[in-house]
Amino acid sequence: MFILISLILFCSSISVDSYITWIEARVPLQGTRPSPGTPWPLPKSLNSTVRTVYLNPMEFYFTTNGRFCDILDSSLTRYRPIIFQGFNSSSSGPSTRTELRSLMVQVDRPQECGYPQLGDDESYSLIIPFNSSQATLHSATVWGALRGLETFSQIVYHDDEYNQCIVNETRIDDWPEYTYRGMMIDTARHFIPLKVLLINLDAMAYNKLNVFHWHLVDDQAFPLESKVFPELTESGAYSSKHIYTQEQVQLVIDYARMRGIRVLPEIDSPGHTKVFGKSHSELLTPCFVDGKPGVPNPPHHSDADILNPMRNETFQFMNQLFAEIKRLFKDQFIHLGMDEVYYACWSSNPDIQALMIANNWTKVNQVEQHYVRQTLKNLKDLQYKVMMWQDPVDNDVELSSDSVVEIWKDSELGEFESWDKYAAPIIRKGYRVVIAACWYLNYINYPYPGQFWEKHYQCKPRAFTNDPEEKKRVIGGEACLWSEFADGTNILSRIWPRAAAVAERLWTDPPVDDLDSTRFRLDQQRCRLLQRGIPASPILPGHCGKHDWGLETIPTIYPGDRVTP
């Protein structure tokens, strides 16, 4: 049975007036400007002609066989105003132009309508005919249908001559190159308001990213509401206003689900846990100086650092916390962090030294291995799959075969080799990896901030190996925004449109031989994001027409204000 969705809505101008130009006249821009309605990320296979059909927003409707899937129903309702945003005419245009009356969304398995998981099929095909009133979007799953609807929303554009919504005759067959296309946001160093997280989920969907890696807590703050250990939140959040309640977390998860986005929680340990000590000082390892406990030694350690691996109570506490996370979040995976376990505090502690002697350990990294192994055992009992930063594997910890390792170390950080030197041996151990090292969005100094997207775009996650089996184990990558210098005021403009460059690399993995033309396409996507309410930063001088941010906003003039005409 098919469901028909038709809303009476005045269609809006969905043309994207993107225009960029040079920084200096002596260095003109090269490349080819894109046609209107060019999708981002580029599909794997796109065949389009110059023949066009028009859409009358008063009469256009969707049909689908997915009537029992709330994700599909919601998406059809959501995309209609996106497609017809701001267009207020139903002009019929030239008599030779066919009217496209509907889009049929056909899903092979519409009953698979739960929460997205790693490895979901996101492929789709989209056919816009010239001689028929119905277009067709076909996918195996609802996740593919979501990606196809996003593409459809981008290829419809505005014909200025006839004041119409039009679309070219088109055939698209599309699928992602990488199954994991993520974005990590740190909400501990600065609290990121809930509404900003939701807006960012919209932007991720507009660029076909499918994992929100939520770095929930860190040394500075514990903003997640815990009902098992409420004291963690009460003592660890910046204030009572800087808390994500469990109801709000569920809202984020459900909002992401409707957009085909996984929400992957990260609870970092044994490092990055200073905030735990505010309510549970017994969890941290006391640091020693000259035989005295609880003495800081900057920059090597504070008074107490890193979870204490000597106490069984530490593991019992963390296991209860992980169990609560498992009940709250819907993903099969948890991200364990496990990065940057600095050994200075452990090395200073005589009890840690006694533990090493008792177990015949000669290196401090064996203490870390002990913590990681016990934590992994506990998580296996919880039936959790794990993802973590690369550090434990670098330190010879053996993980289960279904684990995912995230590569973050890179020469750009100043103290490491290039990221591929770390990825290669981890891949050869048989692990699946996700690359983050190329895409730290909190770095913006190359050579102009607006051009940093070029470096992101040129990073090819599988280029370091020629072995087909090794290439398969690189399952994706993610853009990361650590929030030392970002909060709700600037985080979206820090992320976008640079994350769009990451998104196309992970979806299409196109050649990098024409960055000049890609620059024009990225600017068009940047203006499209502005049109949809995302405050994406400019990449060069220019404008987005009437969609420029705040163009029509007039500040309130109060009595007594001095205003010069």
| 3-class SS letters over 505-523 | HHHCCCCCCCHHHHHHHHH
Residue at 428: amino acid letter: R
Q: What pLDDT, on the 0 to 100 scale, is given for residue 483?
A: 96
Among candidate residues 335, 388, 11, 327, the one with its CA nearest the CA of residue 163? 11
pLDDT tens per residue across span 505-558:
999 999 999 999 999 999 999 999 999 999 999 999 999 988 887 776 666 666
Pairing of strands 19-20, 385-389: unpaired
Find the helix packing angle between 194-206 and 142-155, rounded to 10°.
80
Q: What pLDDT, on the 0 to 100 scale, is given for residue 22?
A: 87
Q: What pLDDT, on the 0 to 100 scale, is given for residue 447?
A: 55
Which H or E run includes 350? helix 350-358
Contact 365, 342 (CB under 8 A): no
Q: Which two tokens stand for residue 159?
A: 């014909």
**Residue 170 CB contacts under 8 Å (≥ 6 apart), including other chains:** 46, 47, 48, 49, 126, 127, 128, 155
DSSP string, 262-283: EEEEEEEESSS-GGGGGT-GGG
Three-state SS annotation for 103-156? EEEEECCCCCCCCCCCCCCCCEEEEECCCCCEEEEEECCHHHHHHHHHHHHHHC
Among candidate residues 307, 452, 423, the one with its CA nearest the CA of residue 370? 307
> Strand, helix or coil at 424?
helix
- Residue 270: asked if its preceding bond is cis (omega within 30°), the reply is yes
Distance, in Å, from the CA atom of 212 to the CA atom of 194, rounded to the nearest integer, reads 14
Report residue 54: phi and psi, to 5°: -115, 160
Contact 154, 37 (CB under 8 A): yes
Q: What pLDDT, on the 0 to 100 scale, is given for residue 446?
A: 56
Determine the distance from the C-alpha atom of residue 533 to the mean position of all C-alpha atoms in its chain, rounded to a whole number.
17
Q: What are the Cα distances from residue 87, in Å, to 13, 83, 166, 450?
A: 4, 9, 12, 31
Give me Rg for the CA atoms of the chain.
Answer: 26
Distance, in Å, from the CA atom of 310 to the CA atom of 358, rounded to the nearest integer, reads 12
- Residue 43: asked if its preceding bond is cis (omega within 30°), the reply is no
Q: In the chain, pLDDT over 70 holds for what percent of residues?
A: 92
> Strand, helix or coil at 71?
helix
Among candidate residues 68, 56, 43, 52, the one with its CA nearest the CA of residue 11? 56
Tell me which residues of the chain have a pLDDT lower than 70: 1-16, 86-96, 445-450, 552-565
Q: What share of the chain is helix, strand, coil (3-state, %, to 5)?
A: 30, 20, 45
Please name each of the domains of the chain with its CATH number. 3-24+31-174 (3.30.379.10), 180-541 (3.20.20.80)
Contact 243, 217 (CB under 8 A): no
Q: What pLDDT, on the 0 to 100 scale, is given for residue 549?
A: 77
Q: What pLDDT, on the 0 to 100 scale, is given for residue 9?
A: 38
- Specify burial of residue 299 (Cβ count, 10 A radius: 0-12, 13-18, 19+): exposed
Distance, in Å, from the CA atom of 275 to the CA atom of 236, rounded to the nearest integer, reads 6
Among candidate residues 186, 195, 190, 178, the one with its CA nearest the CA of residue 265? 186
**Residue 498 CB contacts under 8 Å (≥ 6 apart), including other chains:** 441, 452, 453, 456, 479, 537
Q: What pLDDT, on the 0 to 100 scale, is given for residue 85?
A: 84
Q: Which two tokens stand for residue 155?
A: 């290829």
pTM of the model: 0.94
Distance, in Å, from the CA atom of 525 to the CA atom of 508, rounded to the nearest integer, reads 15
Q: What pLDDT, on the 0 to 100 scale, is given for residue 550?
A: 73
| 225 among known catalytic residues | no
DSSP string, 354-411: HHHHHTT--STHHHHHHHHHHHHHHHHHTT-EEEEESHHHHTT----TT-EEEE---G
Contact 207, 41 (CB under 8 A): yes
Distance, in Å, from the CA atom of 231 to the CA atom of 223, rounded to the nearest integer, reads 11
Q: What pLDDT, on the 0 to 100 scale, is given for residue 556?
A: 66
The residue from 231, 313, 340, 484 that is catalytic is 340
DSSP string, 9-49: ---B------EE--SSTTS---S-PPPTT--SSPPSEEEEE
Q: What are the Cα distances from residue 511, in Å, to 39, 458, 515?
A: 16, 9, 9
Q: What pLDDT, on the 0 to 100 scale, is given for residue 563?
A: 52
Which H or E run includes 335? strand 333-337
Q: What are the Cα distances from residue 83, in Å, to 76, 77, 86, 142, 522?
A: 10, 11, 9, 19, 19
* Angle (CA) 365 371 372, round 5°: 90
